Amino acid sequence: AAKHERRGSIGFYEEKLTSVSQRKLQLSVKLKQALETEQLRVFYQPQYASETLQIVGVEALVRWHDAEWGWIGPDEFIPVAEEMGLIERLGEWVLLTSCTQGKLWLDNGIKGIKMSVNVSAHQLRFGQFMGTVKQALIKSRFPAELLQLELTESSFIEREQEVIPQLIALKSLGVQLAIDDFGTGYSSLSYVATLPWDTLKIDRSFINRLPEDKAQRQMTDTILQLAKNMDLSIVVEGVETQAQFDYLRSKKCEVIQGYYFSPAVPAEKITF
């Protein structure tokens, strides 16, 4: 642990700032090692057809257990990976690992499971991303049609001139594209209309007070209608209660994902 020199005038905030950036620095060193020594894992959170409760897809979520620090969440280390230039390698590894797992399920007779993989905005800023996706598909022999890439709104709104052609190129590979955390970014509906999306993932902040909250009911109903009109699939994430589930099912929301059904788990824990 860091020992700070304490001169009389150094205040609490400065010390706190130092320890925060030190943790970040240590984190980036650890993360680099973790990548090199294959200490990261991918867990999979099932997505269910709301009618039948059959698993129709999974979302790949990266997991990291450090011997010293314990579990570290992606919300903490993904931004560090982005900042420290590690996200391409991390993203490439997650993509190949997930596609390989998807192929394993196919080879075991589990057909049609869609594999959704999160993609960071940073990955799209580099011209190689298209090649990374191609390579992952070729190496794993996983069919492009079953791969879905999840992007958040901020990733295509910033630098749109560079990103939009990439999205179109990705579609031409046959992969599917989803807007993640829909409604939480600087949403502009024109992006929903003009880009080649397949799926909207409604953020859990829109559904956490269902069914009691009237505004949330109106919002979800509207988003579901929008998706239907635009021929987009819907996944609702963060379903935590039977009441939320009942409401969403009654509104014909196709696919649901959340702790009420299952958290992200190791591949072998999923029973299809």
Lookup result for tokens 């902040």? 205
For residue 157, give both structure tokens: 């709104």
Q: What share of the chain is helix, strand, coil (3-state, %, to 5)?
A: 50, 20, 30
Tell me whether residue 11 or residue 127 sits nearer to ligand C2E (CB atom): 127
Tell me whether residue 239 or residue 267 sits nearer to ligand C2E (CB atom): 239
Shortest Cβ 116–ligand C2E spacing (Å): 8
Query: Where do contacts with Mg ion occur on this chain (CB under 5 A)?
Result: 118, 150, 180-181
Shortest Cβ 20–Mg ion spacing (Å): 22
For residue 102, give both structure tokens: 């998807």
Tell me whether residue 74 or residue 211 sits nearer to Mg ion (CB atom): 74
Cβ-based burial of 39 (10 A; exposed 0-12, middle 13-18, buried ≥19): middle
Q: Single out the segment in contact with ligand C2E by CB under 6 A; choices: 24-32, 113-121, 132-140, 215-223.
A: 113-121
According to CB under 6 A, which residues from 12 to 71 bind ligand C2E? Answer: 45, 61-62
Shortest Cβ 164–ligand C2E spacing (Å): 19
Helix (H, G, I), strand (E, B) or coil at 150: strand
Using rule CB under 6 A, residue 237 touches ligand C2E = yes
Choose the contact partner of 153 out of ligand C2E, Mg ion, none; CB within 5 to 8 A by kind. none
Give the H/E segment covering residue 12: helix 12-36
Choose the contact partner of 74 out of ligand C2E, Mg ion, none; CB within 5 to 8 A by kind. ligand C2E
Choose the contact partner of 238 out of ligand C2E, Mg ion, none; CB within 5 to 8 A by kind. ligand C2E
Tell me whether residue 82 or residue 103 sits nearer to ligand C2E (CB atom): 82
Strands 255-257 and 40-49: antiparallel
Give the H/E segment covering residue 139: helix 129-140
The answer, yes or no, to whether the previous bond of 196 is cis (omega within 30 of 0) is no
Beta partners for 59? 45, 116
Using rule CB under 6 A, residue 120 touches ligand C2E = yes
Q: Phi and psi dihedrals of 64, rounded to 5?
A: -140, 120
In angstroms, rounded to a whole number, what is the distance separating the alpha carbons of residues 196 and 126? 20
Pick one of 50, 97, 118, 176: the residue that binds ligand C2E (CB under 6 A). Answer: 118
In angstroms, rounded to a whole number, what is the distance separating the alpha carbons of residues 57 and 255? 9
Pick one of 30, 137, 258, 267: the residue that binds ligand C2E (CB under 6 A). Answer: 258
Give the H/E segment covering residue 42: strand 40-49
Using rule CB under 6 A, residue 264 touches ligand C2E = yes
According to CB under 6 A, which residues from 159 to 218 bind ligand C2E? Answer: 180-181, 204
What residue ranges bind ligand C2E (CB under 6 A)?
A: 45, 61-62, 73-75, 78, 91, 94, 118-120, 150, 180-181, 204, 237-240, 258-259, 263-264
